[in-house]
Amino acid sequence: MPQFRRPPRAAGPLLPCAVIVLLLTGCSGGTVPADRPPAPAASAPRVGAVPDGSTAPGPPGTVTPTPDGTATSETLLVTDFGARTVTFVDSARGAVGSVEVGTAPYGLAVGGDGRAWVATAEGVAVVDTVHRERLALIPYRSDSGPVATGEYRGGGMGIALSPDGRRVYVGVNVPGGNGALEVIDTAALEVTDTVPVGRRPFDVDASPDGTEVYVTNHDSFDVTVVTAATLEPRRVEVAPYGTEGGLGSWLKPHYAAVRPSDGKVLLPFEGERLAVVDPRTGRTTVEPMTADTHQHGTAVTSDGRLLVVGTGPIDPAVDEGPSLTVRGPDGTERVHPLEGPHENVAVSRDGRTAYVTGGFTRDGYWDGLTVVDLGTGGTRRLPAGSRPLGIVVL
């Protein structure tokens, strides 16, 4: 295991373009970079269309024979951060259809009824994933500014569904200030409450019993723990490298996962440190990690494996490239190298495959997924949407 070596530091001076392409860190809070306008998802045909004319995948939870008939595939849903759509993806063939949801969709959550809840810059879109149509667009209460695109856009970011399916919790970014957690009644399809949280709520997670909600606030170095019954918020600072550099620091929390065994909140940093937060006490312990790369998306399996996406180096002289870390419950890790930056990850229903989105909150993204065989470490690329960011297995 490596020693905890990275000192607290700010984003630092501007680097040559070739090095910037290698960094692609997606988190510094300095000058807002120019971003391309949303583009149509050319690789994602409209609802029901299948490029090769073959049969589209069935309803959520089903598997479909691959073209050669030798294996099965499953259906994924990704948010097209570079467009206005979510894309349905056959895990063997790629994009098979899309639904328009709103500008720059970010996170998503899917309930047992097959409805997907998608955080966009305009509001939370509700999508029927069986019939593949948008049912509603629920506006935010918070003033998140003009509808925009790119990493720093206002509007919904992280999103989670309560275990009983009655409420959706969405983190709303308010540019230039603290964000909000908005609570949506899934029957009434409206925002019922707003809770103050930290800056840029990258991720939202619900506890397995539904009693608490955890909001990971990127730019304020913290997690807001919200009691679901009273909507009372508590701030827990999570800054294993300290907070020096403020908004310009790279060393901030991004995404979290709730550990099934004890309900603690897991936040990886830089492939070097795993912050383990006890939401009941607010106490944070730190465990070593091995990937030595800037980390973003997370997923946790029912057997306790933690998957963490590494986007690439902050400092190419000392840091490793993009990767997927698979960390066992005992702390042992296997690091799978990836080609180019990625953002988020989901795991197949049988636990054997990881799907890693090639979209990214900064420049350097690509329009597809990397499919990782968790047994062999083998990878393959799959075209999927436009700058795919969030992902779920249907």
Instruction: Tell me what pLDDT residue 6 has.
Output: 57
Q: What is the mean pLDDT of residues 358-370?
A: 92
Q: Which of 50-54, 81-85, 144-148, 314-318 comes out lowest in average pLDDT?
A: 50-54
Q: What is the pLDDT of residues 86-114, one digit of tens each?
A: 999 999 999 999 999 999 999 999 999 99
pLDDT at 2 over 90: no
pLDDT at 336 over 80: yes
Q: If you ran DSSP here, which 8-state letter would residue 36 be given?
A: P
- DSSP string spanning 144-196? --S---STT--EEEEEEE-TTSSEEEEEEE-TTS--EEEEEETTTTEEEEEEE
Q: What is the mean pLDDT of residues 247-272?
A: 97
The structure tokens listed for 319 are 């840091």
pLDDT at 24 over 80: no
Over the chain, what is the mean pLDDT? 86
pLDDT at 384 over 50: yes
Decide: 310 and 370 in contact? Cβ < 8 Å.
Answer: no
- Confidence band, pLDDT 50/70/90 cuts, at residue 72: confident
Residue 245, number of CB atoms within 10 A of its CB: 19
Non-local CB neighbours of 249 within 8 Å, separated by 6+ positions: 8, 9, 10, 11, 28, 29, 241, 243
Q: What is the mean pLDDT of residues 121-136?
A: 98
Instruction: Tell me what pLDDT residue 9 has.
Output: 38
Instruction: Tell me what pLDDT residue 22 has.
Output: 29
- DSSP string spanning 109-133? EE-TTSEEEEE-SS-EEEEETTTTE
Query: Cα separation of 242 and 389, whole Å?
Result: 28
CA-closest candidate to residue 317, choices 26, 30, 22, 24: 22
- Top CATH class of 17-393 equals mainly beta
pLDDT at 54 over 70: no
- Confidence band, pLDDT 50/70/90 cuts, at residue 362: confident
pLDDT at 203 over 60: yes
Instruction: Tell me what pLDDT residue 7 has.
Output: 53
pLDDT at 12 over 80: no
Q: Can you give the pTM of this predicted structure?
A: 0.86
- Confidence band, pLDDT 50/70/90 cuts, at residue 389: very high
Instruction: Tell me what pLDDT residue 13 has.
Output: 31
Instruction: Tell me what pLDDT residue 45 has.
Output: 28
The percentage of residues in the chain with a pLDDT greater than 70, rounded to a whole number, is: 82
Q: What is the pLDDT of residues 308-324, one digit of tens each?
A: 999 999 999 999 999 99
Instruction: Tell me what pLDDT residue 28 has.
Output: 53
Q: What is the mean pLDDT of residues 81-90?
A: 98
* 3-class SS shares of the chain: helix, strand, coil, % to 5: 5, 40, 55
| Amino acid code (one letter) for 1 | M
Query: Cα separation of 10 and 71, whole Å?
Result: 48
Q: What is the mean pLDDT of residues 343-364?
A: 95
Q: What is the mean pLDDT of residues 15-24?
A: 30
CA-closest candidate to residue 28, choices 388, 387, 362: 362
pLDDT at 33 over 50: no
Decide: 88 and 140 in contact? Cβ < 8 Å.
Answer: no
H-run or E-run covering 371: strand 368-373
pLDDT at 38 over 70: no
pLDDT at 276 over 90: yes
Instruction: Tell me what pLDDT residue 67 has.
Output: 44
Q: Where are the domains of the chain?
A: 17-393
